[in-house]
């Protein structure tokens, strides 16, 4: 087993089974374990699931999260195991890859699933995404927002509402509407939609459970490499700057780079020397770039 420290990142060359027992505490776990469905590939080998999940419970504080990528039987087994251990399911995130994984498949698979479970009391953070990033693939939504603003500017009342919002930062109520739930009808204040659209453009939009992000198809260095931006958005949902994120199946280090970019500490382990070398290089570069940016 080999240990390397790079800034706030600690990397282990070794298996999860060899390294996890020596780790004393982490705030959250974000990992992409072997899915155990790709045959004859050395990166998709079985691991000691009982050891992993028992240590996950040991390592995490009550408000800690374990965020798991997965697919198929193993993914559902892992989440059932977490429930049996007393973890609380909080949310399911869908990574929309924007195109199919293989033209040879009978059905074009364009997504992967990530489950967010807390040991006990963790709460998903309210985070905002830049407007253009959140609506990058929603042309109709962008056009609707533009039309709302255009329509408001063409009327005196609407223009005054926009000016008032730009001056004060607050959106005034403009009436009421009804929302219907299973057995309840609730009256809610209806805010000026044009000003709301302007606020989204200025301040960003709330994160969603579906994240459309292109995969690392070109230039990727690992067969199951995840986009750094996807990892950054997941990290922001479950943690705060300064927290420690643990990934026992590090691969080429995308989650480590995301931690450095978002001001988190990182602990990762990787079994294959060639991927460990790549992860080390990528994380060293991220640490160097972030140090330059911060100065």
Tell me how far apart the 2 most distant CA atoms of the chain are, in Å: 71
The CA distance from 277 to 253, in Å, is 10
For the entire predicted model, the pTM comes to 0.86
Torsion angles phi and psi, residue 16, rounded to 5:
-55, -40
Closest by alpha carbon to 61, among 89, 24, 33?
24
Distance of CA 169 to the CA centre of its chain: 29
Q: Tell me the torsion sign for CA atoms 225, 230, 234, 236.
A: positive
For the chain, what is the radius of gyration of the CA atoms?
A: 22
For residue 214, give the DSSP letter. -
CB atoms within 10 A of CB 273: 10
Tokens of 286: 């991220």
The CA distance from 188 to 195, in Å, is 17
User: H/E/C letters for each residue in 159-171?
Assistant: HHHHHHHHHHCCC
Helix (H, G, I), strand (E, B) or coil at 224: coil
pLDDT single digits (tens) 215-263: 875 456 656 779 999 999 999 999 999 999 999 999 999 999 999 999 9
Torsion angles phi and psi, residue 110, rounded to 5:
-120, 15
Q: What kind and span of H or E run contains 101?
A: none
Closest by alpha carbon to 210, among 175, 234, 191?
234
Domains along the chain? 2-127+207-294 (3.40.50.150), 137-206 (no CATH)
The CA distance from 79 to 91, in Å, is 12
The CA distance from 88 to 124, in Å, is 12
The CA distance from 292 to 295, in Å, is 5
290 CB-contact burial (10 Å; exposed 0-12 / middle 13-18 / buried 19+) = middle
The CA distance from 274 to 103, in Å, is 29
Residue entry with tokens 């293989």: 102
Do the beta carbons of residue 107 and residue 223 sit within 8 Å? no
Which residues share a beta bridge with 180?
Answer: 185
The CA distance from 209 to 94, in Å, is 6
Q: Provide the residue-wise pLDDT of the chain in tens; the chain has 295 residues.
A: 899 999 999 999 999 999 999 999 999 999 999 976 655 555 557 899 999 999 999 999 999 999 999 988 999 999 999 999 999 999 999 999 988 766 677 888 899 999 999 999 999 999 999 999 999 999 999 999 999 999 999 999 889 888 988 888 888 765 444 445 555 444 444 568 899 999 999 999 999 999 999 887 545 665 677 999 999 999 999 999 999 999 999 999 999 999 999 999 999 999 999 999 999 999 999 999 987 555 4
The CA distance from 234 to 237, in Å, is 5
């Amino acid at each position: 087993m080999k240990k390397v420290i790079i800034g706030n990142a600690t990397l282990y060359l070794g298996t999860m089974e060899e390294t996890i027992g020596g780790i004393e505490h982490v705030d959250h776990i974000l990992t992409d374990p072997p899915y155990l469905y790709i045959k004859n590939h050395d990166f998709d080998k079985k691991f000691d699931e009982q050891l992993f999940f028992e240590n996950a419970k040991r390592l995490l504080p009550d408000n800690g999260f374990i965020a798991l990528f997965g697919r198929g039987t193993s993914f559902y087994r892992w989440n059932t195991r977490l429930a049996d251990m007393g973890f609380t399911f909080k949310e399911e995130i869908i990574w929309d890859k924007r195109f199919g994984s293989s033209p040879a498949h009978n059905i074009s698979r364009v997504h992967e699933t990530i489950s967010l479970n807390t040991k006990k009391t963790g709460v998903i953070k309210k985070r905002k995404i830049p407007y253009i990033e959140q609506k990058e693939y929603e042309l109709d939504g962008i056009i609707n927002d533009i039309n709302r603003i255009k329509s408001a500017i063409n009327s005196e009342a609407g223009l005054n509402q926009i000016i008032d919002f730009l001056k004060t930062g607050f959106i005034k109520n403009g009436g009421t509407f009804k929302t219907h739930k299973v057995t309840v009808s609730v009256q809610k204040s209806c805010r000026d939609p044009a000003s709301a659209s302007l606020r989204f453009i200025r301040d960003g939009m709330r994160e969603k459970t579906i994240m459309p992000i292109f995969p690392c198809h070109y230039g990727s260095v690992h067969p199951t490499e995840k986009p750094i931006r996807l990892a950054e958005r997941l990290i922001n949902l479950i943690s705060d700057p300064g927290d420690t994120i643990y990934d026992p199946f590090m691969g080429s280090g995308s989650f480590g780079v995301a931690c450095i970019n978002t001001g988190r500490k990182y602990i990762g382990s990787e079994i294959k020397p060639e991927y460990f070398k790549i992860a080390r290089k990528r994380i060293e570069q991220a640490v160097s770039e972030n140090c330059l940016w911060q100065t």
